[in-house]
Amino acid sequence: MYQCPLCNGFRTEKIICPNCQTQLLDGGALENYYEPYSPYLPENILNQADGVSANECIHLFYCPDCGYDHRYVTKLVNI
């Protein structure tokens, strides 16, 4: 069964903020943001997510210091 290693907590990515060199935090899978109470989500994020294949998971990493955010596409792994 294919699972996202980040959603399941058996892998973490170290991504460094290009602005302030702080390690970005994993805000979780982007699909978690598809909530009716999140109307502020830009249209282009939704469009990109639609083009992602079923064996990938997009995570939203963000910088706790400056608010920089980064979409990280990770491949699902068979466990």
Binding-site member from 7, 15, 25, 77 for Zn ion (CB under 5 A): 7
* Distance (Å, whole) CA 63 – CA 23: 7
**What are the helix (H) ranges across the chain?**
43-50
Question: Does residue 24 belong to the site contacting Zn ion (CB under 5 A)?
Answer: no
Angle at 38 between CA 33 and CA 39, to 5 degrees: 125
Question: Does residue 77 belong to the site contacting Zn ion (CB under 5 A)?
Answer: no
Question: Does residue 30 belong to the site contacting Zn ion (CB under 5 A)?
Answer: no
Binding-site member from 49, 57, 60, 61 for Zn ion (CB under 5 A): 57
Residues that bind Zn ion (CB under 5 A): 4, 6-7, 17, 19-20, 22, 29, 57, 63, 65-66, 68
